[in-house]
Each structure stands twice: as structure tokens, then as C-alpha cells.
A and B are shown apart, each in its own frame.
Chain A
Amino acid sequence: MIVRELGIENFRKFRQPIRLTGFDSGLNLVCEPNETGKSTVLEALRAVLFERHSSRSERILSFRPHGDDVAPVVDLKFEVGDCSWTVRKRFIQKAEVSLEGPGVRATGDEAEERLQALLGFTRAGNRGADENTRGALGLLWLEQGSSFVLGAPGQAARRTIEEVLAGEVGAVTGGRRTAVVVQAVEKSLGDLVTATGRPTRRLAAAQDALEIARANAAAALQELTEFEGVLARLEGKRGEYRRLLRDLDDPEQTEQLKALERDLQQARLAGQALHTSEALLREAAGVRERLETRSKARSELRAALTAAEAELVEVRATAQTISADLEAAKKSEADAATGLETAREGLRNAEDQRRTAQVLRAGAVRRQAVSAAFERLDRAEALARELEAAEAEVEASPLTPDALEQVEALERHRVETHSAATAGAATLRLGLLPKAPRVSWNGEAVAPNHSAPVIGRLAIDIDGVGTVTVEPPLGGQAAQAAMRAAVDDLNAFLAGNSVATVAEARSQARRRAQAEQVVDTLTRRLADSCPPDSVLGLGTGLDALRGFLVQEERPETGAASAAPSGEAEDDERWETARSSERAAEGRREAAVQALRKAEAEDIRQTAAVERAQADVERLASDLKDDTEGLDDEALALAFAEAQTAEGRAVVGRDEARRATQGLDEEAISKRRDSLAAKLERMREDRLSLVQEIAMLEERAKTLGGAGPASRAAATAELVDAAEAMCSRLKEEVEVLSLLDRVIREAEQEASRRYLTPITNRVAPYVTRLLPNSSIVFSEDYAPERLIRSGHDEIAEHLSKGTQEQLAVLTRIAFADLLIEKGKPASLVLDDALVFADDDRFETMLEILTEVSTRMQVIVLACRTSAYRGMPGNRIFIS
């Protein structure tokens, strides 16, 4: 394809019509500065071919110059093969298109379609033409900024390439049909399963239908089972009813009931007879038992009487012995009492004598103690006076150990500050000749060779000469001030304690410590001289002694009277009297106890005699009473009779018992009741059976009316049909999937085969630009990898410049391919190669120049100088 003339009006920045003419068949250069409209030229070129004239898409509307409500118009003269064509499009307002060529004048959609067929692109979509619709020319006409995109060709371009490549590899077209077939297959597949293989639409519907059919079949089967169950139950109930009626009408049962009634009557009579005979037996046995008991009691009574009489005799003898014992005991007690009284008198006398002697002895002891106490007081008072004097001396001295410690601290501080002051001070040394005048140092005369540190202002007066003043350095003043303060503090403290010097302070402190020791010694001696006195009830200390002796008179010396002697004799006498009294008391106590025991024994024995006497009397009376009504002979006779009567009653009872055997009233009664209840139940059962049968009959009728068996058969068959349908559709899915897969595999295979010619065509260019390199294309014809000296590089990771150059070279290869196969192709580059370095740019220009001998190349560029050396036709926009 060769562009010859392009007219543009009302298009973007070209409000006024412009016309670009004189395009050469080979290389054309449109070199203009930025914003001249180069890109608009390419845009107009694309619009007049690829955009639909009738479209009002945003892009089309954007063709209008900004703010103008006008109709953009583009016309293009071009050649394909040897034929010239003119196309003219007017957009938006009164949109129109016309195409003129050899024997062709077309307008409207016809013109669009012819144009598409001629140049191999497809109808633009609603949003305008894109890389998928523009075809090969779209691929080869690189707009500004897109030249370095290494993308895959769009659909239409790819198809064109595939068409020409198919010829190249010995195949004919088929791409489009493949797409249609794949589309149809996928549509059919999509009617059955989703992309992820889940059933949808037809298959889903078939599966749903199968589920429903299965549910229906299950329901029908259940209904049928229920119906069969109803019929079976009905039959069962009918049989039950027949058996029940037969049982109810059974005459044997009535007979049995009557027989039981008879038996019951008989059993009742026998039971009563047994009852009576048992009562008689109980009565006879009672009589016999009573007589037996009486006989036994009488024998026992007699034995008891005999025993009681013997007891009485024995008790009386014992009583006489005990009376004599009592008298002896009474005499013993009286003797003991007299002895005790005598012993007590003796004891009282001994006690009185002993107490009098004790009082006299105690008075003598106290007098001696008081006298000793007065002597102790005298010694203690003398010590107290000494102590008072020592304490006064201590009080008088202010230099306590604390004060001394403080003096020492202040002195240490003074020495430290003095050292600090002298450390940094200069030393002034006098060296005067013997004849030198007198020198005084701060008013103080000093020796001719005196030296001292300068730690303060120092005025040296030299008689008859003058005064020399030395000022210590300012830096030492703080230390000097501290030293002065320390001296002041020390002197102040010494003055406060009424001492002149530190040495005096130390001497005074020593004296005070000695005085304190004297105080301590005297205090201890004083305490020792006033011990406690247990005789006078005195505590420790001088005060207690003073207090006690204030109330006492000082006894005269040597007046202490002697205490009476014989204390041991008094005590012995008193002890002997006490022992005699205690022995007499013991003897009396023993006599009293013996008497009490004898008295108690006497009383007890007297009572025993009375009790034995009463027993004998009572038993004799009882025996008399018992024998009076019924003597022994009569009793024996009555007992024998009673025994005979009891034997007869036993025989009667046994007979009655035998009569009741086999006639258990309770058991018979139970049997009769249960039989009666059974009959009653059967009558009730009959009624409920009748009702149940009627219900089941009705139910059978209802269920049967719905035709359960037919329904079950029909639904089962429908399940089979639904299953068959599902299987068929699943098989169809398999078949379609297989077909889809195989076509895709074939497509991939084909793509791989088609790539070889492209690779071959682009190879010489790539080698020229990048020696020892080659490009590998992906299946969609996008440059994928660059192999440089055996190293593999991902195309997308290459530098922008290299990517752009490879993209341009790939386009050239595509264009070569198309031209060779007689397809319209031309190359348009808008501001391409901007990232190329000088060498590569040169090489690219060489390649482009070469290419332009085979096809039309239009270069739109803003860098005039860069293309200056390039041959070719120059075209100007302005």
C-alpha cells in the first residue's frame, strides 16, 4: 500500500484544510517540530481507514477541534497493487463515506466493507477501532509512544499474518473457520457445563429432571407400598374378625363359664364348714390348756409354801445373834468418847504455853535489826555527800565528749582548708642582709629569712623604705575564704565553750571524764551500803532506809534484851499432845462405825423375819383358796375330759379340710373372672375391628383410585428415561470437551509452526543491530525472549530502547512478509527510535532506508537534525 495524498479539515488542530501531497513510494520524512500536528496526521490516516464514518464514539467526537461544532473531514489517495483508490470520510455531522477505485464507486456501508476487504481489517466496534480490528496496517503504523510496546498483534492483524503464514508453511486458510467452530463447540458446551465443569442449563435441567423423576418414583413406590400395606392389613383384619366371630360363638366357652360358677358355689360351702370345725378345735384346745395350767400352778404353790416356812426358822435364829453384837458395840463407843475428851484437854494446855514463848522471842530480834539499820544510815549519808560534790564538778565542765568531737572536727576542717589555701599559693621568702632595715609582715615583724605562703593580702613594711603589698591570685581566693571561715568557725566554737585553744579544750575534756568516773564509783558504793532488810521489811536504797528510820527511835547502845530460851522443849511437848489427841479421835471413829454397822444388821434381820412370816401366811392362804372350789381329784378328772374333747375336734377339722381340697375358691373365681373379661374384650374387639376394617376399606379405595401401581411403573420408567438423557448429555459433554481440547492443541501446534518464518525474517535485522542475537516469538507472535550470545533474556526486561528497536524490526519483518504475499503493507513510524543511541540509530536508519526500497515508509519525526543525513522524500505540514 502506498499513501499518495492526505487531506484534513476540521480535524483536531487542523481547523483549516491542509493537504499533504507528494508521498513517494519509498522513504518519506515528515520532519517538523513538536506540536506541528504529526501525530494528528497519523490519527487522520487511521480514522479515514479504520473508523466507521457513522460512529459517534467518544474518539470520533474528539476529532473535532476544541470547542468547534464542525464535521471533521479526511480524504486519502492511496494505491494498492497498481490500482489507485480515493476514500473520503466525513464524521459526526452529515457523516458520509465514499470510496473510488478501479471500476468502484461506493458509499456508506458498502464503501466501508470494500475498504475492509481491500486492506484486510475488520469493522470497528462501538468504541471505535482498536488493535484487534485495524488489521496488519494498524500493526505497522506505529503511533507516538507505542513503538516500543512489544505486545502481540491484534486479532485481525494476527489473522492476516496467519493467512500469509499458512501459505508459507504450506497450509491454506482456516483460522476464521476454526474460530467459528470453536465458538460453536464452546457454545454447545456452555449449554451443558460451566467453564469449571459444573452442570448448567441443559445438563443441569436434565439432572434436575432426573432428581425429580427419582423423587417421584420414590414417592410412588412408597405410595404403592403403603397401598399394599393397607391391603395386607385389611386382609389380616378380616381374618382376625372371622376368628373372633368364631371364638365368640364357641358354645364350649359358655359351658366352661357355667361349670366354673358351680365349682365356685361348692368351694364356698366347703370353706364355711372348715371354718366352723377350726373354731371348735380352737375352743377345745383352750379348755384343755386352761386346766393344764391350773394343775401346774397348784404344784408350784405347794413347793413355795414349804420353802418359805424353812426360811422363817433360819432368819429368826440369825436375828438373836445380831442383838448381842449390838450391845457390845454400844459400850465400846462410850469408852472411846471418854478417851478422846481427855486427850483434847492435854493438847490445849501445850499450845498456850508454846505461843507465849514465841511472842517474846520475836520482839528481841527486831530491836537488833533496827539498831543495825541506824548504823547503815550513817555510812550512807556520808557517801551521798561525797557524790553530790563529784556531780557538781562534772556539771561545771562544758566540754562533753560531743563538744570535744565537734572541736576536733572543726580543727580538722581548719587544717584541710589551710592545706587547700597553701597548696595553690605562692611562697614569699625574705632574704635580707643583716644590715637591712626591720621588716614587718602585715604589721608583724619577721625574721630576715622568713618565708610564708601568700594566702591573703600581704603588706610588707620595710622601715624607712616603704610598703610592699602582695595580693594573692584571684583564683586562690575561694580557698582562702574557706580557710578563713574554718578558722572563724573553730574560734567561735572554742569561745562558746569558754576555752582559748584546742589544746585547752582537750585538757578540760579529759578532766571532765575523770570526774564522771568518780561519780560512777560513788553511786555504786551508795547502792551497796543500803541493801534490803527482810526482818524489817525494807527495800533497797537510801530513800527506803531514811523513810523507815524516820518512824523508829534509835535504840540505846547495849540495851538489847536477851530472848527467852527453851523453844525446842515447848515444841516437843506440843507435838506429843497433838499425837495423843489424834489417836483418841481414831479410836472413837472406829467404835462409832462398828456401832452403826451392828444397828443396821439388826434392823435388816428384823425385817427379814417379818417378810418370811408374811410369805408363809400368803402362800398358805392361796393354796387354801385354790383347793376350796376344785380339789385335786376333780381337777384331774376335768383335764382328762378336756383332752378327749380336743381329740374329737381335731378329727372334725381334718375332715372339713379334706372336703375343701381341689376347690380353691379364689383360683376358681379368678378363672371365672378372666373368662368373663375375655369374652367382654372379644365383644369390644369385634366392634373396633369392624371400625378398623371400614377405615381400611375406605383407605384402600382412596389409594387405589390414585393408581399407585401404574404410577410406580410409570415413574420408574421415567427415571430410566431421565437417566438415559443425563448419560447422553454427559457423553455429549465428553465429546465436545474432547473436540474443544483437540482443536486447541492443534491451534497451538499450528502457532508453533507459523512462528518459524517470522523468526527467519527478523533474524538478519536483529543480527545487524545486536550481533550474535536472535528473537524467540510467543505463540501469539509477540517477541518473547532475546537470545544474546547464548543467554536468554525476557523481552520485557530489556531496556526500553532495545525493546523499541526490536518492536520496529518485528514490524518490518511482518511488513516484509505481507508485501511478499501481495498483501497491502506500509510502515509509518511516529517519533520512533527516540531511545536509540547514535550507533543503533544509524543502523536503524540504514535498515529503514533499505526497507523503503521494498515498501513505502513514512517517518514522522521532530528531531530534524537526526534525520538530516537520511536520504528520502521530505514532506512538510505547514
Chain B
Amino acid sequence: MKFLHTSDWQLGKPFGRAPDEARAALLEARLDAIDALAAAARREGAGWVLVAGDVFDSPEPGDRVYRQALTRMKSADDVRWALLPGNHDPARADGLWSRLAGEAPANVIACLEPEAMQLDEGAWLLPAPLQYKRTFDDPTTWFDTVSTPAGALRIGLAHGPVTDFSSGGGAANLLAPDRAKRAGLTYLALGDWHGRRAIDAFTHYSGTPEPDDFGREVTGVALLVEARNAVAAPSVTELPIGRYTWLVEDWMLNEVEDVDAQLASLGGGVERRHLVARLKIAGLLTLAGRVAVRDRLENGLAHEIRWLDLNLADLYARPTAHDLADIDANGVLREAAERLQSMAAEGDAQGRRAAAALERLYIEHQRAQRTGA
């Protein structure tokens, strides 16, 4: 039996901190992932797509996202979808899932009860839906005792971490890492972690199909799982699904030219328009250098990629005699520049402000020169 394992779609994630134009695109990309998954399933001959929780970003994603999701799944009617409530969209009474159970198309199944469900001939799904955002009982415990026809494939579907990373213990929704073994599962499809991770040969996190944040170990894949029998480890293949690559990089610049090398290698072969980058630039440059770097990033790269979250706070400018001469050899502006430079040397909040003012003076001066003043 072949099926796709995916999780953490988190449809409707708002990306409120991103600029408007990026926000809409990022939101839409998550919906597009459904189409990409449907296409992949079709291509690979997988009849089912099992979604291991957090289909939606919240228990009430709103009608648009809800309808879009259902419509897209419905239009891929040669694929069947099993959806599991996760901690972001727990199956509480009268909420989203109650509606979805009543309104979903025939090829979409909401797994709202912890009971075995036949997927195909000889293949049973054991879903562990979350009823609450946080539960402290392992929702997969019942897998151990539930019986399925002899020789049938037992496929677990659950949402939660297998490791407690919290300092004080007592993490919510914690799952037993050896559940597959204990419950005699052929495969345990897990969700919650946005990065793809194999726990053992039978237990896998697929990660989110569409990366959604900086600094996460994400790959933007779905897993193609092929189970031949109930005992052998299934074969698991990663299928690329995601559109955007989220990068977090810290650049140390010693001179302006360093930025060129960094820019050239940014994102490897990923298309620039599919890049989302958080850059933290550090270093000490001349004033002219800092202005040039800022120009390259703010007026160049920022427009090339989907969203540039740029932090130049640690990119310091040490105005050189040349920089100051650029502003003026003498005269009022030179005097102002020198005053600002000495204020900036203080390094406190006012100093940082003075550094910014000096840079602004430099830029305005250049601009004035360009316009022929």
C-alpha cells in the first residue's frame, strides 16, 4: 500500500509581521501545498494522503481558508484525505471539526474519534486526534490494545512530540517514542515538528510541506510511504512540496566587497522570488561602505526576494577621513559631521542615533550632489 504522509499544514497562518505583499503570498502558498500534495500523490500512485495534525493554524481559521482547503481537496477526487486534529486545531465540540465532519466531500475523512478505521483492504488506520490544545495523557496509548484483523497493516496517525524539550518536564501531548513497536504498527505517521525527522524505521515526522518560519529545521517535503506487509519496515521517500525557502543568515562583513560573495551564494540554487531571508549583518565598515551595503540590500536584494527581514544594528560605520571629506572638506556640513561622529563614539542610545544621523547626512549629501547642488 502506498500513501503520502504529511502534517502541519497550518492553513491560515497569518504572517502578520511580514509586509503586506509577502503576507498574502505566504498564506496562499500554504493552500497551494494541497494542490502540490495532490499532484504528488497522483504521480506516485498513492491513494491516501494522511495528514498528521494541525491541518489548520487555529481552531477557527475562518470561512475562506476552510472553504479553500475543502475545495482543493475535493477537486483532487482521485485522492483520499485523512485529516487529524492537532494542538493548533483540536477537535473540540461544535468547533471547526464538527462542521467539517458534516460538510467534507466524500474523499475527505476527519479522524475525530480514537477508533480504528479501515483505509483499504487489509490496511487499518489508528488515529489519535487531539481534543484539546494540551493533553497530558499519551493519546496513542490505545494503539497497544486495539485489535485489527490478523496480518492487516496497522498505521498510526498522531500529533505531538516524542521528546520533552521543556526544562521542567510535563510537556503537553507527549507521545511514547516506541509506540510503533509497542503497538505493532507498520508505520506511525507523526506531526507537530515542522522539520522532517525519522525516529526509527517505523516512526517518522514528515514536517510541514510549506516552510513557515525562520530558524526552523524545515525541508518542505511530504513522505511517500510504501508498506508491503505488516512486519517489514516500509520504504519512506521524501517528496519535495514546498515553494518557499526560509533562510536565516548572519553575515560578518569586513569590507563592502564581502557582501557580493554572500549575495552570490545566498540560498544556493533557489530562485530568488522563492526566498524568504532574515539577515543579520555585523561588521565594521567605512561610512561609505555601510551606505553601499545598505543600498545593495535594501534597494537590491529586498526587492528580489519575497521578504527580506534585515537587521543592520550590528553593522557599524567608522567614518574615515575620506568619508568626512566626501561630505565636505570644511564648512558647516563637515562641522556637523564631526560633531555627530564624536557623539556616535559614545556608543549609547544617543550615540547610535548620532551614527544614524551621520549616515543620513552622508546620504543626503550624496543625493544633493547627484541632483547637482
Contact residues of A with B, CB < 8 Å? 166, 170-178, 180-181, 184-185, 224, 227, 231, 234-235, 238, 696-697, 700-701, 703-711, 713-718, 720-721, 724, 731, 734-736, 738-739, 742-743, 745-747, 749-750
- The answer to whether the Cβ of B43 comes within 8 Å of any Cβ in the partner chain is no
**Does the CB pair A739–B340 fall under 8 Å?**
yes
23 A-B pairs, CB-CB below 8 angstroms? Answer: A171-B330, A171-B334, A174-B332, A180-B373, A181-B361, A181-B365, A181-B368, A184-B364, A185-B360, A185-B364, A704-B99, A707-B61, A707-B62, A707-B65, A709-B58, A710-B57, A710-B58, A710-B62, A713-B16, A716-B16, A735-B357, A738-B357, A745-B339
- Rounded to whole angstroms, the CA-CA distance of A715 and B62 in the bound complex is 13
B59 within 8 A of A: yes
A166 touches B330 (CB 8 A): yes
Q: From the candidates B17, B60, B334, name the one contacting A720 in the complex (CB within 8 A).
A: B17
The complex places the Cα of A64 from the Cα of B35 at a distance, in Å, of 83
Stretch at the interface among B87-95, B169-177, B229-237: B87-95
- Does B367 sit at the interface, judged by CB under 8 A? yes
Q: Which residue of B lies closest to A187 (CB)?
A: B364
Q: Report the tally of A-B residue pairs with Cβ distances under 8 A.
A: 159
**A181, A718, A731, A745 — most chain B CB neighbours (10 Å):** A181
Q: Report the bound CA distance from A718 to B17 in whole Å.
A: 6
Closest to B14 in A: A714
B157 in contact (CB, < 8 A): no
Residue of A nearest to B334 (CB): A174
A735 adjacent to B95 (CB under 8 Å): no
Q: A746: which B residues are within 8 A, CB to CB?
A: 332-333, 335-336, 339
Distance from B352 Cβ to chain A, minimum over Cβ atoms (Å): 9
Q: How far is the CB of B349 from chain A (nearest CB, A)?
A: 9
Chain B: CB-nearest residue to A697: B94
Complex interface: chain A residues within 8 A of B339 (CB): 742, 745-746
Give the Cβ gap from A205 to chain B, nearest Cβ, in Å. Answer: 14
Tell me which residues from 325 to 373 in chain B have a Cβ below 8 Å from any Cβ of chain A: 328-336, 339-340, 343, 350, 353-354, 356-358, 360-361, 364-365, 367-369, 371, 373
Say which residue of B12, B334, B369 sits within 8 Å of A710 (CB atoms): B12
B58 contacts A742, C-beta separation under 8 Å: no
Within the complex, what minimum Cβ distance (angstroms) separates A221 from chain B? 13
- Contact check, B63 vs A734: say whether CB atoms are below 8 A apart: no
Which A residues are CB-close (under 8 A) to B16?
Answer: 713-718, 720-721
Contact A709 B59 (CB under 8 A): yes
Do A707 and B60 have beta carbons less than 8 Å apart? yes
Nearest-CB distance from B60 to chain A (Å)? Answer: 5
Complex: A710 Cα to B356 Cα, angstroms? 38
Chain B hits for A700, CB < 8 A: 94-95
A181-B364, A709-B58, A742-B340 known; A166-B331 Cβ under 8 A? yes
Partner of B14, one of A696, A704, A717, A734: A717
**8 A Cβ contacts from B77-97 to A:** 92-96
A717 to B58: give the CA distance in the assembly, Å: 14
User: Considering the chains assembled together, what is the distance between the CA atoms of A173 and B334 in angstroms?
Assistant: 11
User: Which residue of the partner chain A has the closest CB to B354?
Assistant: A738
* Interface of B, helix, strand, loop or mixed by DSSP: helix
Interchain CB contact (< 8 A) of A706 among B63, B356, B360, B364:
B63
Query: Which residues of A sit under 8 angstroms from B335, Cβ to Cβ?
Result: 746, 749-750
| Nearest B residue to A740, CB-CB | B357
Is B15 at the interface (CB under 8 A from chain A)?
yes
Whether the pair A739, B361 counts as a contact (CB closer than 8 A) is yes
> In the complex, what distance in Å separates the CA atom of A173 from the CA atom of B95?
73
Partner of B336, one of A705, A710, A743: A743
Flag if B63 contacts A175 (CB, 8 Å): no
Residues of A within 8 A of B95 (CB): 231, 700, 704
The answer to whether A734 and B92 touch (CB under 8 A), given A706-B60, A707-B12, is no
Residue of B nearest to A709 (CB): B58
Q: Who on chain A is nearest to B102 by CB?
A: A701
A171 CA to B336 CA in the complex, in Å? Answer: 14
With A713-B58, A718-B16, A745-B339 as contacts: A704 and B361 at CB distance below 8 Å: no
A172 touches B329 (CB 8 A): yes
Contact A710 B65 (CB under 8 A): yes
Q: How far is B60's CA from A616's CA once the two chains are assembled, in angstroms?
A: 116
> How many angstroms between the C-alpha atoms of A234 and B94 in the bound complex?
8
CB distance from B239 to the nearest CB of A (A): 28
Closest to B359 in A: A735
A589 to B368, CA, bound (A): 157
Contact yes or no, A709 B93, CB < 8 A: no
Q: Which 9 A-B pairs have the closest CB atoms?
A: A717-B16, A707-B62, A174-B331, A714-B14, A171-B330, A709-B58, A746-B335, A739-B357, A180-B373
B12: A residues at CB distance < 8 A: 707, 710
Q: Which residues of A contact B343 (CB under 8 A)?
A: 742
Residues of B within 8 A of A716 (CB): 16
Given contacts A181-B364, A742-B357, A743-B336, 15 further A-B contacts (CB under 8 A): A175-B332, A177-B328, A177-B368, A178-B331, A178-B332, A180-B371, A181-B333, A184-B364, A701-B99, A704-B96, A707-B65, A735-B357, A738-B340, A742-B336, A746-B339
Contacting A at CB under 8 A, from B128-183, are none
CB contact between A234 and one of B93, B328, B350, B367 (< 8 Å): that residue: B93
Which residues of chain A are near B99, meaning CB under 8 Å?
A: 701, 704-705
Is B92 within 8 A of A231, CB to CB? Answer: yes
A residues in contact with B373, CB < 8 Å: 176-177, 180
For the complex, give the distance between the alpha carbons of A403 and B334 in Å: 129
- Complex Cα distance, B335 from A749, in Å, reads 9
Residues of B near A238 (CB, < 8 A) are 93
When the two chains form their complex, are residues A743 and B332 in contact, meaning their CB atoms are under 8 A apart? yes
Contacts of A705 in B (CB 8 A): 60, 62-63, 66, 99
Distance between B120 CB and nearest chain A CB, rounded to angstroms: 33
A747 to B334 Cα, complex, angstroms: 10
Q: Let me know if A747 and B332 touch, CB within 8 A.
A: yes
Question: Which residue in B58, B332, B367 is a CB contact (below 8 Å) of A707?
Answer: B58
How far, in angstroms, from A210 to B7 measured CA to CA in the complex? Answer: 35
